[in-house]
Amino acid sequence: MKTEEKTKDINEPAWLKEKRQLAWDNYINEPLPDRVSHLWKYSDPQWFEINTDSYKNNIASTKAEISFEIEPEAISKGVILGKTIDILLNKNTNNDFSKLFGSLASNKSNRLLLLNESLWSSGYCLLIPKGVKVTKPIISKIGLSPESKVEILRILIVMEEGSSTSLIEDIFSTDDSEHKTNIVTEVFLGSNAKLDYLNLQIQNKNTTHHVFQKALLESNSELVNLIVSLGGKTSKVDLGAVLKGENSSISTYGIVLGDGTQRFDHHTTLEHIGPHTKSELDFRVALKDKAQSAYTGNLKINHEAIKSSAHQENRNLLLSNDAKAESIPELEILTNDVLKCNHGVTVGRVDKDQIYYLMSRGLNEKEAERLIIEGFLEPTISRIPDENQKQEIELKVKLKLENL
Torsion of CA 237, 242, 246, 250, to 10 degrees: 0
pLDDT(382) > 60: yes
Question: What is the rounded distance in angstroms from the CA atom of residue 142 to the CA atom of residue 331?
Answer: 35
How high is the mean pLDDT of the chain? 90
Q: What are phi and psi of 114, to 5 degrees?
A: -65, -40
Predicted confidence at residue 95, as pLDDT, reads 67
Predicted confidence at residue 56, as pLDDT, reads 46
- pLDDT tens digits for range 61-84: 567 889 999 999 999 999 999 999
Q: Based on the structure, what is the number of domains in the chain?
A: 1
Taking Cα atoms as reference points, which of 256, 292, 281, 264 lies closest to residue 345? 281
Predicted confidence at residue 60, as pLDDT, reads 45
pLDDT(96) > 90: no
Q: Which domain holds residue 252?
A: 3-402
Instruction: Name the burial class of residue 264, with classes exposed (0-12), middle (13-18) and buried (19+) by CB atoms within 10 angstroms of its CB.
Output: buried
Taking Cα atoms as reference points, which of 4, 8, 29, 30 lies closest to residue 18? 4
For residues 157 and 349, the model is more confident at 157
pLDDT band of 218, cuts 50, 70, 90: very high
**Helix 111-119 and helix 14-29, axial crossing angle in degrees, nearest 10:** 150
- pLDDT tens digits for range 346-376: 999 888 888 888 888 889 888 888 899 999 9
pLDDT(54) > 80: no
